[in-house]
Structures are given as structure tokens and as C-alpha cells.
Amino acid sequence: MTKTIAVIGGTGLCDWPGAEVLDETAIETEYGAPSSLLQRIRYEGAEFLFLARHGKGHQIPPHAINYRANVAALKKAGVDALVAVNAVGGISERFVTGVIAIPNQINDYTWGREHTFFDGSNGKVEHIDFSYPYSQDLRSRLANAAVDADIAFEDYGVYAVTQGPRLETAAEISRLARDGNDIVGMTAMPEASLAREVGIEYASVALVVNPGAGLSDNIITMEDIQTVIDTGMLQVKSILAHCIAAY
């Protein structure tokens, strides 16, 4: 059975230069409108749906994203598997700037976000198993795609999800390191758990765009981050194209 694949992109992946946009669809959900139009894209021979997590022009900060509307819209569009692209900070030794990771675990430090479809409003409450937040099958497909594309990557990683939009303090990064986190970002939750609630396979490709606060002698600047994104996201897109084309 052919699966419908979607990509949800954030920092550095709001658009796809060189891709053919086949159509765009506005989808309304009971949770409101998603961050952007849902595009059907053809890129390097792969066809998939794409949703810009932060909206067109990167206008929505991480804490204000309507995650429920985004996931509900993808489910309504018939999506079976969702690959999230995340720009993250590096914490542990192997996750230096420029490294691409396919994380396997999550620690959630966010607060105040609408984070579940099972909020009791419809009289239905469920408790999902979230022991392993990422689909192992989809992770394996991404890993195989990276090998096929001859792109180096780390096939693990604990993703710490912080509230944002500010970056973390050096003390916070030290705490995250003690908690066993390898990378830090702001958007994996509640995106991952919402996907699990509606039965969408979910995995991530994360690009390390800066060292965590206090782990280098330099101040973290958006200019430095953008330099890494310009190179790294081309590799991420190649992994995605190889993965989706192989479905």
C-alpha cells in the first residue's frame, strides 16, 4: 500500500527552491487553521506534502504554533508518515555544529502548550504509549536514505524540547546535559505526541546549527546559525528525497 508522506519544516526549511509545487490547499480543522497552506511538492523525484511549521516567512514563534491544527490538518489530508525537520543546538560531545542526527528519544521541558487531542472536551480520554516517541521504521528508512545519499549522520540522540523563543542559559544547558540530552530545540513537542495520538508515524531529521549556550567561547548569533543552515539543509533535503522516493 502506498503511503502518503509529509514533511513539516521549521528554521531553514520554510521553502524549497528548485522544487515543483504541484498544488496548495487550505485546510480548516476544529482546532483552527494550520501554520500554512499544505503544499504538494515534487523534489528530486520525490513527491510529498509539506507544511511550514512557523508559517510563511517564519512568523510564528515555537510556543505560539498551533500544533494541534497542524497535526489535525495533516491527518485530514490522509498523511500516514510525517518527517519533522528541526534545527537544534548541540549538547553532548558528538553533536557538534553541522552534524545531522536522527534522534530516538525526547525530554519535554515545555509548558502551557495545547498538547493533546484527548483533553476531555469530547468526553474521550486516552493515555497513549509514548515510551519510544519516534517510529523505528521511519527512523530506519531515514538512516538508509542518509547512507544512500552518502551523508554522515548520528543514528541516535535525546532531544530536549524547551519553550523558546529565547535560547537557553549556560546553566540550563548544563542541566540538560546532566539529564542525558544530546540536542536541544523548541518544536518536537507536542508535535510528536500529537502525531502518535492520531496514528501518524513520526520521525525527525535534526541539524545541529550551534553549540549549546556556554559550550563555546563565542556568542550565538543568527548569522552564524544561518551559515550552517545554508549548507546543512541541502543535505537534509537530500536525505528526505532519498527516503520518500524509496517508499
Secondary structure (DSSP) of 229-243: HHHHHHHHHHHHHHH
The reply, when asked if residue 196 is annotated as ligand binding, is no
Per DSSP bridges, beta strands 183-185 and 158-161 are: parallel
Would you tell me how many other CB atoms lie within 10 Å of the CB of residue 41? 20
DSSP 44: T
Type and span of the H or E element at 83: strand 81-90
The reply, when asked if residue 11 is annotated as ligand binding, is yes
Would you tell me how many other CB atoms lie within 10 Å of the CB of residue 35? 23
Q: Grid coordinates standing for 10? A: 521549521
Whether the bond between 190 and the residue before it is cis, its omega within 30 degrees of 0, is: yes
The reply, when asked if residue 53 is annotated as ligand binding, is yes
Which residues are CB-contacts of 216 (< 8 A; sequence separation ≥ 6)?
none
Q: For residues 206 and 209, what is the distance between their CA atoms, to the nearest angstrom?
A: 9
Residue with cell 551523508: 151
Give the closest residue to 240 by CA, choosing from 193, 209, 197, 207: 207
The reply, when asked if residue 242 is annotated as ligand binding, is no
The reply, when asked if residue 127 is annotated as ligand binding, is no
Numbered residues of the known binding site for phosphate: 11, 53-54, 187
**Residues in binding site for substrate:** 186
Q: Binding site: which residues? A: 11, 53-54, 186-187
